[in-house]
Amino acid sequence: MARIWLSRLFLGGLLLLVPFSLGACAADGGTGSDLGCSASSTPCLKGTATVVLQTSKGEVQLQLDGAAAPLTAGNFVDLVNRGTYNGTVFHRVVREPVPFVVQGGDPASADPKVSASQYGLGSFLDPASGEARLIPLEIKRSDEPAPRYGEPVTAPGVTSKLDLVHQRGAVAMARSADPNSASAQFYVALQALPELDGRYAVFGRVSKGMEVVDQIRQGDKLIKASVVAGGTLVQGKP
């Protein structure tokens, strides 16, 4: 119970824009397929992708899952390919009183003219439209053929059926109170965080370099992100 209370206390650190309560209603209805790859202008990931993060503390390798999280992983790969994460700051690191998350990826944090007090408020701005790119919450159940979109999946007993959960090293998208407001910011779980399962979109895991993640402190930099294997992006359903 203590861990859940602390996670709820610090959950505001994951959020991009506004306060959020975990008292959201569970979604156990339709799959929200109209919000998925078929309807999105954001490319989706076909298969897997291996992404290397060169940080100021060393190299971290991520394995992304395009089967369970095609839209979320595809968005991340597309932003990597665009250089969006290069030079950004890990602006929120929560280790006390218990390990929680390392969060980064705010595009604004790469701009030296932006004050550190503003880190964590930014989204990816699509250069074609000048507007923020936002993607829906994407959750895949093992007993369903396709991910659900748009609302948290937290009904009792359902979270045990999720394909991707918040184990130590899980990589997931930060967002605001709106489940469909993830953009560029992401976090790595420093320990298992089951209270976040079904509420935030996990799309991969740290496959190498978790010891580097453990050394990252607030203010450290993500120097460069690169796709080194896989990473095939498609428009529409993979």
| pLDDT tens track for 160-186 | 999 999 999 999 999 999 999 999 999
| Segment 123-137 mean pLDDT | 95
| Segment 66-95 mean pLDDT | 98
What pTM did the predictor assign? 0.89
Tell me how far apart the terminal alpha carbons of the chain are, to the nearest angstrom.
40
pLDDT confidence of residue 33: 53
Q: How confident is the model at residue 9 (pLDDT cuts 50, 70, 90)?
A: very low
Query: Which DSSP symbol is given to 135?
Result: B
| Dihedral over Cα of 91, 181, 68, 83: its sign | negative
Residue-averaged pLDDT of the chain: 88
Q: How confident is the model at residue 31 (pLDDT cuts 50, 70, 90)?
A: low
pLDDT confidence of residue 104: 98
237 pLDDT exceeds 90? no
21 pLDDT exceeds 60? no
CB atoms within 10 A of CB 35: 21
pLDDT confidence of residue 150: 95
- Please give the CATH number for the structural domain made up of 2-20+42-234: 2.40.100.10
DSSP assignment of 69-99, as one string? -HHHHHHHHHHHHTTTTTTEE--EEE-SSS-
Token code pair at residue 172: 């997931």
